[in-house]
Chain A
Amino acid sequence: MITYVVTVFSLMLITALLCISFDILAGDLKLMSLATPAIAGVGAYAAAICDVTYGLPLPLGLLAAIGAACLIGFVLAAISVRVSDVYFLLVSMAMGLILVTIFDQVRAITNGPSGIAGVAPFQVFGLTVPQSGLLIGITLLVVVGLLVTAIRRSYIGRRWRALGDDKLAATNVGIDPKRELVKCVVLSSGVAGTAGFLHAHVVGIVDPSPFGLQAAILILALAVVGGSGRVWGSIAGASVGIFIPEVLRFVPLENLAAHQSVIREVIFGALLVLFLGFRPNGLLGRKTVTQMSVS
């Protein structure tokens, strides 16, 4: 039972990192990316290759995961500087689909649909494997959360919010939208790469299936439900997304437990629409300047 609970918490931490990655773009620049899980997949594959093929230590694997994800993020940003809003969503969706196809087909590197197995689990301070994974996950989440919060409170974050609120006005005061877009996308990708690194070592196998478009839409739904603009909002969304389906397992209805992943998608699809209409800030999102002045 303890192993099960610890594993569920570890999955929640991975999802929270993905939601933070999505929210860096959506909360500040108001750009929605459907490539977040695919970029996390790049990080996961980099971490898996470093561990399984080359036997590198964990810190180097983490650096490789973040570096690979940032590189892909830079490519996405370079492609996207000419487009915005809905077109950015479509370009990111295109990139996500292309990346998953590459994961599936470039067997020499990724081993195709079978994936890369045998990724070493975390084991630190004499703790058991699941508990080590949880400890590393919490550490990474705290570090990423503090970093993202610090950046948001700095002049960089203010520039991003200015661009997100009114691009024309922000450009007129001297903020370069292209440069800030590249910085934001690269940071978001780095966080996604961290999530991929955690996924590789917690799950132990990296294959293309968790990084597709369905996962991207689910992350989008969780980020909207949790609330944009704040790290706590992303954690809230991830908690709701992981814990509610797990609670359904214990409901004494056979069909309900068997279809919990499908029921989760129905619930979150509906919640996405309801939250957009009734509570666009989500559970713990940041209020806009207009909302704060009205209240």
Chain B
Amino acid sequence: MSYQLFLQVLANGFFTGILFGGIAVALAICNLADRSLHVAIGSVIALVSFFWLAIIRSELPVVFGFILLAGISLIANLACLAVYRWLSRRGVNAEGIVVASFGLLIAGNSALELIYGTELESMRAPWLQGKIKIGGIRFFYGDLIMSGVVLSMLAALWATLRFGGFSLQLRSVFHDAREAAIAGVNIPRIQVLAYAFCSVLVIIIALSIGSRSSVHPHMGFFPLLIGIAALVTGGLGSVRSAFLSGVAMGIIWDFVGIYFGTVWQFASVFGILAVVLLTAPEGIFALRVRWPRKATKPNV
């Protein structure tokens, strides 16, 4: 393999990885808030993409279009949260809520298929297909812009988690919701905020997937599976691990696609997931190397 091709695949894989990392972060935020896997995010991605297509074709102002899109994404995600909370109050455990989320996913995707049909739609804007060459490596404007936006959002999330009280409250809810409630954490508010952030991330992910491939009712299903694999491989309970794992998955995805064919991409990602679950179920990025502490003299 030529060095040039290697670098090109690495660059493409990095951008693919940022997309997968974004999905994994959205899932991680929701998992921190309510300990469930928000699998229905796959149908919300498709819903947002179809609405964006409708907004473009109606020639509404872009700003108004984004506001509308944000509202739709927020309503869809909060509706899913309402269903999970209702099931939780009915005594359904975490695994049952994941199953219900799968139910929402297939119902949502099938409803979109009934409304919009199965024809592939294109969201590609000509200006996004422009490219620049740096050091012999080709970068598309669309990839650069979308990756920049995703990274900016993740930077904002990092700042919020690092410097605000939200992080502590979110972690307390994840580790023990009952104790967190006793300590005064407003759990419903935390969950709404987490899903609200997830909603904004979903918009960017939806536009990114739609501009890279095509828009159809099941467009969110396969990226969702990669996002789940990335989240679990990185380790549940860590946003940073989910993102890093997503980037790694993206790079592996593109390399496997080039070397072994696209049909082996899913098998490779899920093979890695199976190996990680066997060897390090807490996640590969959750592993820490503990250096032995120096023995301290007793203070006699």
Q: Which of B92, B107, B228 contacts A266 (CB 8 A)?
A: B107
Taken together as a complex, chains A and B put the C-alpha atoms of A289 and B123 apart, in Å, by 54
Q: How far is the CA of A91 from the CA of B98 in the complex (A)?
A: 14
Q: Which DSSP category, helix, strand, loop or mixed, fits chain A's interface? A: helix
Residue of B nearest to A112 (CB): B263
Contact of B274 among A32, A91, A214, A269 (CB under 8 A): A91
Point out the residues of chain B lying under 8 angstroms from A86, CB to CB: 37, 94-95, 98
In whole angstroms, how far apart are the Cα atoms of A32 and B266 in the complex?
Answer: 21
Is A94 a contact of B263 with CB atoms below 8 Å?
no
Interface residues on A, range: 35 or more
Instruction: Report the interface size class on chain B.
Output: 35 or more
- Checking A90, A101, A220 against B267 with a beta-carbon cut-off of 8 angstroms, the contacting residue is A101
Q: In the complex the two chains form, what is the Cα distance from A276 to B83 in whole Å?
A: 11
A176: interface (CB < 8 Å): no
Report how far A96 CA is from B95 CA in the complex, Å.
Answer: 19
Given contacts A265-B110, A273-B103, contact A90 B232 (CB under 8 A): yes
Report whether B270 and A280 are in contact in the complex, using a CB–CB cutoff of 8 Å: no
- Check A87 against B99 for contact (C-beta < 8 Å): no
Q: Which residue of B lies closest to A259 (CB)?
A: B114
Q: A269 and B107: CB pair below 8 A?
A: yes
Q: Which residues of chain A have C-beta atoms less than 8 A from B106's C-beta?
A: 214, 217-218, 221, 265, 268-269
A97 within 8 A of B: yes
Which secondary structure dominates chain B's binding surface? helix
Which A residues from 216 to 273 make CB contacts under 8 A with B?
Answer: 217-218, 220-221, 224, 259, 262-263, 265-266, 268-273
Residue pair B273, A277 in contact (C-beta under 8 Å):
no
Chain A residue, CB-CB nearest to B232: A90
A280, B99: Cα distance in complex, Å: 12
A153 close to B (CB within 8 Å): no
A19 interface residue (CB < 8 Å to B): no
Q: Are A101 and B99 in contact (CB under 8 A)?
A: no
A93 interfacial by beta-carbon distance below 8 Å: yes
Asked whether any CB of chain A lies closer than 8 Å to the CB of B41, the reply is no
Name the CB-closest residue of A to B271. Answer: A98
Least Cβ–Cβ distance between B86 and chain A, in angstroms: 6
Contact A272 B96 (CB under 8 A): no
Give min CB distance, A246 to chain B, whole Å.
17
Are B100 and A276 in contact (CB-based, < 8 A)?
yes
Is A181 interfacial (CB 8 A cutoff)? no
The 8 A CB mask of B142-178 against A (1 = contact, 0 = none) is 0000000000000000000000000000000000000
Which B residues are in CB contact (< 8 Å) with A87? 232, 277, 281
B271 touches A269 (CB 8 A): no
Is A79 within 8 A of B274, CB to CB? Answer: yes
Chain B residues whose C-beta falls within 8 Å of the C-beta of A220 in the assembled complex: 99, 102
**Contact among A83, A91, A262, A272 for B103, CB-based, below 8 A:** A272
| Docked complex: B60-74 residues within 8 A CB-CB of A | none
B193 at the interface (CB under 8 A from A): no
Complex-state Cα separation, A248 to B267, whole angstroms: 37
**Does B246 sit within 8 A of A, measured CB to CB?**
no
Find out whether the CB atom of A276 lies under 8 angstroms from the CB atom of B104.
Answer: no
Which residues from chain B contact A277 at a C-beta distance below 8 Å?
86-87, 90, 92, 100
Q: Can you list 22 contacts pairing A with B, beta carbon distance less than 8 Å?
A: A32-B95, A82-B278, A83-B281, A87-B232, A90-B228, A91-B277, A94-B274, A98-B266, A101-B263, A104-B263, A221-B106, A262-B110, A265-B109, A266-B111, A268-B106, A269-B105, A269-B108, A272-B100, A272-B103, A273-B87, A273-B100, A277-B87
B interface vs A, CB < 8 Å?
Answer: 37, 83, 86-87, 90-92, 94-96, 98-100, 102-111, 113-114, 225, 228-229, 232, 263-264, 266-267, 270-271, 273-274, 277-278, 281
Instruction: For the complex of A and B, list the 8 residue pairs with the smallest distance between their C-beta atoms, beginning with the closest.
Output: A269-B107, A272-B103, A94-B270, A265-B110, A269-B106, A101-B267, A266-B110, A269-B103
Known: A86-B98, A270-B107, A276-B99. 17 other contacts (CB 8 A): A32-B95, A32-B99, A82-B277, A83-B277, A83-B278, A86-B95, A94-B229, A94-B271, A105-B263, A214-B106, A217-B103, A218-B106, A262-B113, A272-B99, A276-B87, A278-B90, A280-B90
